[in-house]
């Protein structure tokens, strides 16, 4: 697919992300204190950098698992129908689960994935998203923890892609097209 030329303007620095994750990890460890059962579930692929940094700040015994749900494809539009493309390996019935997502945008992905996981009867299911775009919400969904609330901009970096590119940027940037 031919791509219009664009540049990436930094929105959130690597340093700010690291500092925020330290705070979030402290809050999460307090919430799950005493549990020996926490399964941290990353939603592929956008959360892979975030979950890697988050679990290394978490002072708790954790297991890590991944789930893949269908997403936008390579377009900057949202699809409402969310399908499970890769399921969990772990059995989560009776266990504490932390679902880790990159961005809450329209809310469809997390509202449907959390319903799906609730069907497996976890003891406790909590959600965390690095970024939140509240102005884009189409269904009512609120994550238990949010790293940063951002305006309606298309962002990349720190695991998040635009047409599969830019996941390896260490910061969060916004895409700005340079031609009309
Ligand atoms: P939702 O179902 O609309 O809440 O969409 C959530 C998913 O859309 C996220 O997990 C991202 O994969 C993707 N997404 C939303 N906004 C952006 C963005 O600005 N850049 C890249 N992906 C995005
Ligand atoms: Mg995603």
Tokens (6 digits) for 61:
């015994």
Centre of ligand 2 to C-alpha 101, Å, is 7
Q: Is residue 163 part of a domain?
A: no
Q: Is residue 56 part of a domain?
A: yes
Q: Is residue 103 part of a domain?
A: yes
Query: Best of 11, 43, 48, 102 to mutate for ligand 1, by most ligand atoms within 8 A of CB?
Result: 102
Average pLDDT by consecutive 10-residue portion of the chain (180 residues)?
A: 87 98 98 93 98 97 96 56 92 97 96 97 98 96 98 98 97 93
Range of the domain at 105: 14-150
3-state secondary structure string across 62-89 = EEEEEEEECCCCCCCCCCCCCCEEECCC
Question: What confidence score (pLDDT) does residue 71 get?
Answer: 66
Q: Is residue 173 part of a domain?
A: no
Q: Is residue 159 part of a domain?
A: no
Q: Which of 49, 19, 35 shows the shortest CA–CA distance to 126?
A: 35
Tokens (6 digits) for 110:
């997390």
Q: State the alpha helices, DSSP H only, in 43-144.
A: 48-57, 108-118
Q: Is residue 93 part of a domain?
A: yes
Q: How far is residue 168 from each of residues 104, 111, 156, 162, 171, measured CA to CA in Å? A: 20, 27, 9, 11, 9
Give dist(CA 10, CA 107) in Å, integer: 24
Nearest atom within ligand 1 for CA of residue 101: 10
Centre of ligand 2 to C-alpha 47, Å, is 7
Question: What confidence score (pLDDT) does residue 2 get?
Answer: 67
Smallest-distance ligand from the CA of 155: 1
Nearest atom within ligand 1 for CA of residue 138: 3
Write the CB contacts of 143 (distance below 8 Å, at least 6 apart in sequence).
101, 104, 110, 127, 128, 129, 132
Tokens (6 digits) for 31:
């919430």
Strand-pair partners of 99:
41, 127
CATH number at residue 88: 3.40.50.2020
Centre of ligand 2 to C-alpha 43, Å, is 7
Centre of ligand 2 to C-alpha 62, Å, is 22
Q: Is residue 169 part of a domain?
A: no
Q: Which of 114, 162, 147 shows the shortest CA–CA distance to 7?
A: 162
Q: Is residue 179 part of a domain?
A: no
Number of independent structural domains in the chain? 1
Catalytic residue chosen out of the listed positions 53, 96, 102, 105: 105
Based on the residue annotation, tell me whether 105 is a catalytic residue of this protein: yes
Number of other residues whose CB lies within 10 A of the CB of residue 92: 20
pTM above 0.85, yes or no: yes
Smallest-distance ligand from the CA of 172: 1
């Amino acid at each position: 697919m031919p791509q219009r030329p664009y540049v990436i303007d930094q929105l959130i620095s690597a340093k700010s992300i690291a500092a925020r994750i330290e705070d979030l990890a402290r809050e999460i460890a307090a919430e799950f204190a005493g549990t020996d059962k926490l399964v941290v579930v990353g939603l592929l692929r956008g959360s892979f950098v975030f979950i890697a940094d988050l679990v290394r700040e978490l002072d708790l015994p954790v297991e890590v698992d991944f789930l893949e749900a269908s997403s936008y494809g390579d377009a900057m539009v949202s699809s409402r129908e969310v399908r499970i493309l890769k399921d969990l390996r772990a059995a989560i019935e009776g266990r504490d689960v932390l679902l880790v997502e990159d961005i809450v945008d329209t809310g469809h992905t997390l509202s449907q994935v959390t319903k799906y996981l609730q069907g497996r009867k976890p003891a406790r299911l909590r959600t965390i998203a690095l970024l939140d775009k509240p102005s884009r919400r189409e269904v009512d969904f609120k994550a238990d923890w949010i790293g940063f609330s951002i305006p309606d901009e298309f962002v990349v970096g720190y695991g998040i892609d635009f047409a599969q590119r830019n996941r390896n940027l260490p910061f969060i940037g916004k895409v700005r097209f340079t031609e009309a």
